[in-house]
Structure 1
Amino acid sequence: MKLKYIFALFILVVIAQLFVPMQMIFGQEAVLNNGKAYKFRTQPVDPSDPYRGKYITLRYDINAAISIDSTWERKQDIYVYFEEDSLGFAKLTTVSKSPLVSTKDYVKTQVNWYNKYDRNVTFNLPFDRFYMEESKAKPAEDAFRIAQRDTLPNNTYALVYLKDGEAVLKDVLINEISIADYVEQK
């Protein structure tokens, strides 16, 4: 009798271990399939995580907004709303402490700092790591940095899908070429 309970508990643990990762995968796939793609201008750095591997840390031009509300607190939830500009890049439209009734796409993140003198609230976008194969991460960072110095405007960006407050970083592009393919071409 006790063996039946142990076996049933074992089966429940196995199902739970399969369910959680599958739910995460299906959630991201839903954003990629049904979300809206935005291009975010970036600036790279190349750190390493011993558990998850090599990645490019992406810093975005969009990292602050002017706000007359001076009650922002560090690590407070913030909702950042976007629309596309005339060149197809993401453009910040508004920030809010709570979700707005709006058709605009948004992401939920946290406040880094509020500067009372400039009336500026700063934040980091939640899609700031692009993971790559170990051998390609350093060459990718170098290629990205060189492309950033290029005189061509808007030649480096991250392609991010947004849907219902969720964001998935699909790719990083240099001159309209995926960074992984760009590194292989060099």
Structure 2
Amino acid sequence: MNKRAKQLVLACSLPVLILLGMCFTPVYTMLTGEEMILQTKPLDPSDLFRGDYVALQYEAEEVPIKLVDKAVVTRLQNQGQFDVFVLMEKKNGVHTPIKVTLEKPDKGIFLKGTINYIDKDNNGQKIAFIGYNLDNYYLEDNTGTEWEKASAKGEILAKLKVNNGYAVLTDISTK
């Protein structure tokens, strides 16, 4: 093989290797991750042009300030958005946050998320708003309306696979 042919093979294989590398973490998580169930909150999606999907918002995205480490609060005031680790505990079949920290937990199941801001909820309690990038689930055709109604009532449970804080949304079900 001459030099030009080797360059062509290298140039063609590099994008393929990059795409395969991007698939590794989600596939590895699906195969080896622990299962987690999250409770959703009512949400009414507004984009009708994406096909059948349901927009999800989770109770675990609004964490009471008492569960957030002081170092996280201080850093948020000085820096703005950044990644945190949310240690979860299973209660009544659903995983809920028990601690938000800067350090990756040594044991237990946890999610890696982005803390956005701290504000008060409808009851006047201070809470931290954390995003997990698990907000849309695409559905089988002609089933979106049923799931939208269930989502608006907060009746959907989301099933995830989690590995080392990285989560993949695998399924949804109603209570």
User: What residue ranges of structure 1 are gaps of 5+ in the alignment?
Assistant: 150-154, 176-186
Structure 1 residue 91, shift from structure 2 partner = 1.8
Structure 1 residue 96, shift from structure 2 partner = 0.4
Structure 1 residue 94, shift from structure 2 partner = 0.3
- Judging changes above 3 Å, is the alpha-carbon distance between structure 1 residues 20 and 68 closer, same or farther for their aligned structure 2 residues? closer
Structure 1 residue 10, shift from structure 2 partner = 4.0
Q: 2:87 aligns with which of 55, 69, 81?
A: 81
Q: Who is 1:142 aligned against?
A: 149
TM-score of the pair, normalised by structure 2: 0.74
Q: 1:113 aligns with which of 117, 136, 157?
A: 117
Runs of 4+ in structure 1 deviating by more than 6 angstroms, as ranges, are none
The answer on whether the counterparts of 2:38 and 2:96 sit within 8 Å (CA) in structure 1 is no
Q: Who is 1:166 aligned against?
A: 166
Q: Who is 2:21 aligned against?
A: 20
The one-letter code of the counterpart of 1:124 is G
- Is 121-130 or 104-113 further displaced after alignment? 121-130
Alignment pair present for 1:71 and 2:74: yes
The answer on whether the counterparts of 2:56 and 2:151 sit within 8 Å (CA) in structure 1 is no
Secondary structure of the 2:56 match is strand
Q: State the alpha-carbon separation in 2 of the partners of residues 168 and 124 from structure 1.
A: 14
Structure 1 residue 95, shift from structure 2 partner = 0.4
The answer on whether the counterparts of 1:39 and 1:90 sit within 8 Å (CA) in structure 2 is yes
Structure 1 residue 80, shift from structure 2 partner = 0.7
Structure 1 residue 120, shift from structure 2 partner = 3.3
Q: State the alpha-carbon separation in 2 of the partners of residues 106 and 76 from structure 1.
A: 16
Q: Tell me: higher relative CO, structure 1 or 2? Use CA pairs within 8 A at least 6 residues apart.
A: 2
Q: State the alpha-carbon separation in 1 of the partners of residues 115 and 23 from structure 2.
A: 30
The answer on whether the counterparts of 1:55 and 1:137 sit within 8 Å (CA) in structure 2 is yes
After superposition, the C-alpha distances for 1:79-122 in whole angstroms (9 at most, x for unaligned) are 1110101x111121100022132x21111111111249955322
Structure 1 residue 171, shift from structure 2 partner = 1.4
The CA RMSD measured in Å over matched residues stands at 3.0
The one-letter code of the counterpart of 1:94 is K
Q: Who is 1:152 aligned against?
A: none
TM-score of the pair, normalised by structure 1: 0.70
User: What residue ranges of structure 2 are gaps of 5+ in the alignment?
Assistant: none
After superposition, the C-alpha distances for 1:113-155 in whole angstroms (9 at most, x for unaligned) are 124995532212332211124533234213443xx27xxxxx5
Q: Who is 1:57 aligned against?
A: 55
Percent of paired sites with the same residue: 18
Q: State the alpha-carbon separation in 2 of the partners of residues 9 and 19 from structure 1.
A: 15
